[in-house]
Structure 1
Amino acid sequence: MTAPRPHRLPPPLFTARSRAAWLVAAVLALVVASFLSLDLHLAAFLSGEALAGMGRFLGEFFPPDLSPAFVRKVAEGAWETLAMSALGTALAAVLGVALALPASRLHRGRGLARLFLNALRSVPELVWASMLLISAGLGPFAGTLALAIHTSGVLGRLFAEAIENAPPGPGAALRAQGAGTVRVFLYATLPLVLPQLMSYTLYRWENNIRAAAVLGVVGAGGLGQLLMFHMGLFQMDKTATVLAAMLVLVALVDAASFGLRRALTR
């Protein structure tokens, strides 16, 4: 009959040798320092006067403007926003694949390619749209290009990592037969990573539908332009209708993207 094993106590939550503990302590210290350095007026924000003013402001949104003419105008803006996000994401996916190949570790010049991808995605869509308005003019064209440029930097980096993590066996077999880099990618690497690339693209489409709505701030068309116009005129009933259309559009795109991503992973 064997003797029972002695019970071992769980390790302490914080030890001097635990890197995770030191990391958590550093993050907590950073959070505390952030609160101390920011001029946060929490007492004024939660005061009765501030809450009453917020309640009056929210009351101006009701009832929303549901007149047929304005609903038709909002529907056209929603379609414009949806088209901007879909076309911008499609262009970004094509550019992302083209930029992912030189940015992967399979190529020697990946440092320069990754630097270019970093430059594309480090500039927000709103800034790209502001610069493109000079050449493309007001309207959805500048917004579509802004989404495509920024998203191509994001997808290019994600696609490059997917290509790097692809199993090397099929590609090595084709290279042994004398196939070039393009054929190896098309016939060996791409079929393996295509579901992952599609999943990344659909996820970015979800983000771009929100970004396309915001781009209207600088006159890039869609629901965002309607929102800024009517909010600037303090027409809160019309603003409420535009906000409701944004919520419905985002919910529909999220549901469609989620369903497509689940279908790809089966």
Structure 2
Amino acid sequence: MSDVRSAANTPYRMPPPLFSARCRGCWWVAGVFVLVLASFWTLDLQWRQLFSMDAVASMGRFVGEFFPPDTSPAFLQRVAVATWETFAMSAFGTLLAAALGLALAVPAARLHAQDASWARSPTRLVLNALRSIPELVWAGLLLIAAGLGPFAGTLALALHTAGVLGRLFAEALENVPPGPAQALRNHGVGEGRILFYATLPQALPQLLSYTLYRWENNIRAAAVLGVVGAGGLGQMLHFHMGLFQMSKTATLLGVTLLLVVAVDALSWSLRRALTR
């Protein structure tokens, strides 16, 4: 009862103002905001020309060339093969990335307070290097070694995504509740068995959720990698757009959209099942 009275007698504090003259962080944010606004003045943004009637008419004619999409059986058969290549590139690339990311996440994480983590900094440097290079650059480099085709695209997705997943996996392993692992450690259980029987089981739902989310992103990336000759829908899209075959391009864009929506729905369903 006394707690209720003391809570009732506690004076109500108003929330702090959004901007305070004494707040250094507020001035930094305001300065960055002003710089962002000022940067627009350096760009040659021709808004009047963009929204002119000539521009609207030109865009209308361009969009009209996409219809009707090409639905000939021979072309759809080629599109089906390319769709499967794109799907396989994203799935296998994500699987390789998850395996490599987990292998790098273990030395990149401090698993307990007494862990020396001597390999933490160099491993995180490797992860930073992997994810700092975009998939298109990885694909361009790997095309020299692996040649044209989906194999180079798969490796490019795997290397970039391994850097992303490795960092996320390391953070997930470090944030696991330490109780079960410490209980096993007090009984003399080795660190390897602690990792497999205490740490990984607790972090597994989060690791799978991260992997599925990256798979969604890799579907889009796999479609783009075809531009540099990595196969799949992107390569066909680049080819037919270069020849201004807009009806075929419309079919490819539609199939790409359907593939992304299907993978997003599948990934969302799996992540929802994991969180139940």
TM-score bracket for this pair, using the shorter chain length: over 0.9
> 1:208–1:6: structure 2 CA closer, same or farther, 3 Å change rule?
closer
Does structure 1 residue 51 correspond to structure 2 residue 56? Answer: yes
Selected match of 2:179 from 169, 178, 186? 169
Q: CA shift at 1:176, angstroms?
A: 2.1
| Structure 1 gaps, min length 5 | none
Name 2:76's counterpart in structure 1: 71
Residue in structure 1 matching 2:236, options 214, 222, 226? 226
Q: Percent of counterpart pairs with the same letter?
A: 69
The root-mean-square deviation of aligned C-alpha atoms, in Å, is: 1.9
- Residue 265 of structure 2 aligns to which amino acid in structure 1? A
Deviation at 1:24, TM superposition (A): 3.8
Select which of 89, 96, 105 maps to 1:100: 105
- Residues 34-55 of structure 1, C-alpha deviation per residue, up to 9 Å, x if partnerless? 2122222222211221111111
Of the candidates 10, 13, 24, which is equivalent to residue 18 of structure 2? 13
SS at match of 2:18: coil
How far the C-alpha of 1:19 sits from its partner, in A, is 5.2
Structure 1 residue 6: Cα displacement: 9.5
2:149 to 139, 142, 145: 139
Deviation at 1:164?
0.5
Structure 1 CA distance for aligned equivalents of residues 139 and 61 of structure 2: 34
What's the TM-score, normalizing by structure 2?
A: 0.90
| 133, 138, 141: which one aligns with 1:128 | 138
- In structure 1, what is the equivalent of residue 274 of structure 2? 264
The AA in structure 2 aligned to 1:76 is: V
Q: How many angstroms apart in 1 are the aligned matches of 2:16 and 2:160?
A: 46
Question: What's the offset of the Cα at 1:179?
Answer: 2.3
Alpha-carbon offset, residue 7 of structure 1: 8.8
Q: Indicate the SS of the match to 2:244.
A: coil
Per-residue deviation, 1:12: 3.8
Q: Deviations over 1:44-80 (max 9, x none)?
A: 2112211111111111101100111111111111111
Structure 2 residues without counterparts, runs of 5 or longer: 1-8, 112-116
User: How many residue pairs were aligned?
Assistant: 263
Structure 1 segment 1-40 matched on structure 2, within 5 A: 11-18=16-23, 21-40=26-45
Shift of 1:18: 3.5
Q: 2-side partners of 1:85 and 1:34: how far apart?
A: 37
Amino acid at match of 2:61: R
1:173 shift after superposition: 1.7
